[in-house]
Amino acid sequence: MVVHIVEDDEAVADALAIVLEDLDHHPITYKNAESFLAGAAPSSDDWVIVDIGLPDRCGTEVVRELMGLPRPPSILAIS
């Protein structure tokens, strides 16, 4: 399972990644919605942690796009 972290605050993204690594998960961080949407291909087994207050594109738009996938990943929205 991969945990995709979409968070523009580098300190928050790093802290989440460290905790998830300690729990034996594989985190990948993205500093904005565009880099996530362009580079990630989350499976239904993955998790996506998305910041609602992203600067380039609202996190709710990312959630809507993910929910439109045939088999969406699990999603956790943070702010």
Cα angle: 8, vertex 16, 48; to 5 degrees:
70
- The phi and psi torsions of 78 (rounded to 5 degrees) equal -130, 165
**What is the chain's pLDDT, residue by residue, as a tens digit (79 residues)?**
999 999 999 999 999 999 999 999 999 999 999 999 999 999 999 999 999 999 989 999 999 999 999 999 999 999 9
Residue matched to tokens 């380039």: 56
